[in-house]
């Protein structure tokens, strides 16, 4: 461990960086269940949380894990869970419950190959659509995708901030490669924990689900603080009372659960661009493939190809406008991803046919080589 | 409304959504009387599962969760651990607790998490219209056991005991006074407290399984099937067949409750503890 003035430099595995990010954000509750390749997160939480007066629970399954985390969230703590593939599938009813009751929780998915038990020890990005559509009914989530251990730290910290602000389940979509890669992580000193906004209204007759004009709720009260909270997974009115029989109340809530995220998308977006100024072919990447993609862009540049790089760190909400804003001279977009080619459809939608979009899917658990992406640049170079 | 109702019920949530003659109103009343006796309303955290009895907490003027089917005790474990001072009180049905939530039930009991679990057993899935449940008697006809139930029912109290619950009682909705006393005992008990409450469901169980649709007649019928824990001692399995043993069935005051044990082991006090 090397000491520097304003930061601590550590060599961390991605799974460890996630834990550091969560603890720095003030997460003090974790409930989980062992699963490859996410287990290290639980192991490290089990060691680190108790000395911080936090709670680590190994539950009987992933359903119980996410439910315990939601219980702790309304209990007043910043809470999270972590899993992979089959475990994330089991958690989906909890994700929907958290979305519907506006419970801030963070769900770490260290993605492995699927479907079903799939490839426990190999990476994929096959769960990116699950992160948006996994639970039944209409709702929105936020999903962040790190491509390095440093980003795993930073995005996990941010996931807690976003969860508290937008009162929504936030995913960190890591994968087996990042989870098990060890590299340098700079942890800023004196990073303040995420503050949960306190409720501002009177306790008497408080309306815990009354949103402001921005669609967001007032601060979050916890159980046993005198607010007499009623938290219901059924559609409810602003007091929390069952409203499944009142069409307009149900419609209003369901719509708000979606637009409270989409109208704030510009504040949520996080992208990184490089070599875009004169670029004609741009790689649109996210997560692990961003790394061979950047190498490929540099190699293409060395060969005189006007290659560009756009990395998406917040895949949900999808940054449609940022793709649309790519200048006219960009004629082709290359989309490498570790699945059959899912995000490429979002990119195609965003370009509305004005650019050529080349899908570069990769399955089987291996990462694209820079050469494979470079080859795509070379093929499309006019 | 009587003063206890005035004090503890969310009047703006009334009327109840239950059928006329349902046992849940009696159980709600027995619970708020116990809460009043103990004076713990501000520390109480109610959780209801899915099904008729899961709605009980939404009528109580206190902090309440109405959660996912079968998951009450998982939510309750998170809620309890995030502030061990809380009195977590759970309403779950026989389907919610023993069917879809069976795994959470046995593990919460095994951990001896300090919570009160009131399992309302109407022997049927009532809210969905009368389907066979893990508690439906052998051979009983329901909408999904049309030719008779080929399965044997669970004995929920035996299951709770085997799993590690440290307070176990059984009462019926025909015993509101001892039930209220038992709920107060369960809330005061430090550890996993389980009460099975046999309740009349005239609309579904009564009509489909017993040919009784009158609530009063159903209460008499259920009461007639009970035998006190004391009277049951020494009786053979054959003599107790189809009987409900009522009263306090088991209590272990020695075993340390989960949150206490957890914080002792990690050498911390727990948040707000």
Contact A330, A281 (CB under 8 A): yes
- Fold match, A2-188 / A272-380: yes
> Looking at the complex, does the CB of residue B98 fall below 8 Å from at least one CB of chain A?
no
Q: What DSSP element (H or E) covers B188? A: helix B176-188
Sheet holding A356-361, edge to edge: A271-274, A307-312, A281-285, A332-337, A356-361
Q: Which of B93, B92, B88, B137 is nearest to B113 (CA)?
A: B88
Range of the structural domain that residue B45 is part of: 23-229+237-265
At the top level of CATH, the class of A272-380 is alpha beta
- Any idea what the Cα angle at residue A314 is, between residues A286 and A12, rounded to 5°? 65
Instruction: Decide if B272 is inside a domain.
Output: no
Q: Taking residues B232-254, report their average pLDDT.
A: 94
* Predicted local confidence at residue A3, as pLDDT: 55
d(CA A144, CA A107): 10
The model's confidence at residue B272, banded by pLDDT at 50, 70 and 90, is very low
Q: Do A67 and B71 count as a contact with CB atoms less than 8 A apart?
A: yes
pTM of structure: 0.97
Residue in B58, B82, B268 nearest the CB of A232: B58
pLDDT in tens, A276-315: 999 999 999 999 999 999 999 999 999 999 999 999 999 9
CB contact under 8 A, A74 and B79: yes
CA distance A167 to A219: 10
- Taking a contact as any Cβ pair under 8 Å apart, which residues of chain B between 110 and 139 contact chain A? none
Phi/psi class of residue B73: alpha, beta or left (left: φ > 0; alpha: ψ in -120 to 50)? alpha
Query: Strand B244-251 and strand B167-172: pairing?
Result: antiparallel
CA-CA distance, A151 to A128, in Å (whole number)? Answer: 17
| DSSP H or E segment with residue A47 | helix A39-48
> What are the tens digits of pLDDT across the range A234-265?
999 999 999 999 999 999 999 999 999 999 99
* Angstrom distance (rounded) from CA B180 to CA B173: 10
**What interface predicted TM-score (ipTM) does this complex get?**
0.97
The domain tally of chain B equals 1
Q: Is B270–A53 a contact, with Cβ atoms under 8 angstroms apart?
A: yes
Domain residue spans of chain A: 2-188, 272-380
Any CB–CB contact under 8 A between B62 and chain A?
yes
**CA–CA gap between residue B205 and residue B195 (Å, rounded):** 20
d(CA A74, CA A77): 7
How many Å apart are CA A25 and CA A61, to the nearest integer?
25
Cα–Cα–Cα angle for A220, A19, A40, rounded to 5 degrees: 130
Query: Per the domain annotation, does B18 fall within a domain?
Result: no
What CATH number did the domain enclosing B153 receive?
3.40.50.970
Cβ distance A50 to B66 less than 8 Å, yes or no, reads: no
- Burial class (CB within 10 angstroms; exposed 0-12, middle 13-18, buried 19+) of A193: middle
Residue B5 lies in a domain: no
Q: What per-residue confidence (pLDDT) applies to B1?
A: 76
Enumerate the residues of chain B whose CB falls inside 8 A of the CB of residue A77.
82, 271
| Residue B270 resides in a domain | no
Q: Both tokens of residue B186?
A: 């369960």
CB B23 within 8 A of CB B200: yes
Q: Cα(A316)–Cα(A270) distance, rounded to whole angstroms?
A: 10
pLDDT digits (tens, 9 = 90+) for A336-361: 999 999 999 999 999 999 999 999 99
Average pLDDT, chain B: 96
User: Are residues B12 and A75, on separate chains, in Cβ contact within 8 Å?
Assistant: no
High-pLDDT (> 90) share of chain A, %: 97
Domain A2-188 class in CATH: alpha beta
């Amino acid at each position: 461990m090397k000491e520097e003035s304003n930061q601590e430099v550590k060599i961390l595995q991605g799974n460890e960086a996630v834990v550091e990010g969560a603890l720095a954000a003030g997460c003090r509750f974790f409930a989980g269940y062992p699963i490859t390749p996410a287990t290290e997160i639980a192991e490290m939480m089990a060691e680190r949380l108790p000395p911080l007066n936090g709670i680590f629970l190994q539950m009987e399954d992933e359903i119980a894990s996410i439910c315990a985390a939601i219980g702790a969230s309304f209990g007043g703590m910043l809470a999270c869970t972590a899993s992979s593939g089959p475990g994330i599938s089991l958690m989906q009813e909890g994700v929907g419950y958290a979305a519907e009751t506006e419970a801030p929780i963070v769900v770490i998915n260290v993605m492995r190959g699927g479907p079903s038990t799939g490839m426990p020890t190999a990476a994929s990005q096959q769960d990116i659509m699950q992160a948006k559509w996994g639970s039944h009914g209409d709702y929105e989530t936020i999903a962040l995708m790190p491509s390095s251990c440093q980003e795993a730290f930073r995005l996990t910290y941010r996931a807690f901030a976003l969860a508290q602000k937008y009162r929504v389940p936030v995913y960190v979509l890591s994968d087996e490669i990042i989870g098990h890669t060890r590299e340098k992580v700079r942890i800023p000193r004196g990073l303040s924990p995420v503050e949960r906004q306190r409720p501002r209204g009177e306790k008497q007759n408080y309306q815990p689900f009354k949103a402001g004009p921005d669609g967001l709720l007032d601060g979050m009260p916890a159980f046993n603080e005198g607010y007499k909270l009623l938290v219901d997974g059924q559609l409810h009115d602003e007091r929390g009372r069952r409203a499944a029989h009142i069409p307009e109340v149900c419609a209003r809530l369901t719509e708000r659960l979606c637009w409270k995220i989409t109208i704030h998308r510009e504040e949520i977006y996080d992208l990184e661009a490089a070599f875009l100024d004169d670029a004609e072919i741009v790689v649109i990447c996210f997560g692990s493939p961003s790394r061979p993609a950047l190498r490929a862009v540099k190699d293409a540049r060395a060969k005189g190809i006007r290659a560009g790089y756009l990395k998406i760190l917040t895949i949900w909400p999808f940054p449609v406008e940022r793709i649309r804003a790519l200048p006219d001279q960009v004629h082709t977009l290359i989309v490498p991803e570790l699945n059959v080619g899912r995000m490429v459809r979002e990119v195609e939608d965003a370009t509305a046919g004005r650019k050529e979009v080349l899908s570069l899917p990769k399955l089987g658990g291996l990462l694209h080589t820079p050469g494979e992406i470079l080859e795509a640049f070379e093929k499309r170079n006019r | 409304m009587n003063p206890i109702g005035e004090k503890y019920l969310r009047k703006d949530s009334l009327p109840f959504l239950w059928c006329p003659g349902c046992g849940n109103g009696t159980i709600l009343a027995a619970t708020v009387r116990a809460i009043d006796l103990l004076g713990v309303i501000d520390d109480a955290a109610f959780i209801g599962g899915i099904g008729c009895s899961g709605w009980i907490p939404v009528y109580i003027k206190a902090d309440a969760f109405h959660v996912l089917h079968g998951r009450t005790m998982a939510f309750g474990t998170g809620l309890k651990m995030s502030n061990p001072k809380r009195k977590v009180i759970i309403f779950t049905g026989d389907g919610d607790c023993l069917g879809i939530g069976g795994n959470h039930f046995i593990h919460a009991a095994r951990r001896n998490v300090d919570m009160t679990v009131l399992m309302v057993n109407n022997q049927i899935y009532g809210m969905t219209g009368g389907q066979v449940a893990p508690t439906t008697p052998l051979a009983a006809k329901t909408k999904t056991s049309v030719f008779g139930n080929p399965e044997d029912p669970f004995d929920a109290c035996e299951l709770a005991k085997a799993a590690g619950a440290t307070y176990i009682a059984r009462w019926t909705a025909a015993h509101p006074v001892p039930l209220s006393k038992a709920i107060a005992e369960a809330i005061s008990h430090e550890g996993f407290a389980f009460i099975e409450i046999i309740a009349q469901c005239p609309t579904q169980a009564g009509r489909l399984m017993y040919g009784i649709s009158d609530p009063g007649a159903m209460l008499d019928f259920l009461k007639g099937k009970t035998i006190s824990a004391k009277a049951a001692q020494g009786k053979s399995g054959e003599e107790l067949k189809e009987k409900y043993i009522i009263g306090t069935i088991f209590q272990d005051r020695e075993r340390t409750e989960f949150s206490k044990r957890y914080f002792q082991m990690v050498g911390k006090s727990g948040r707000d503890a």
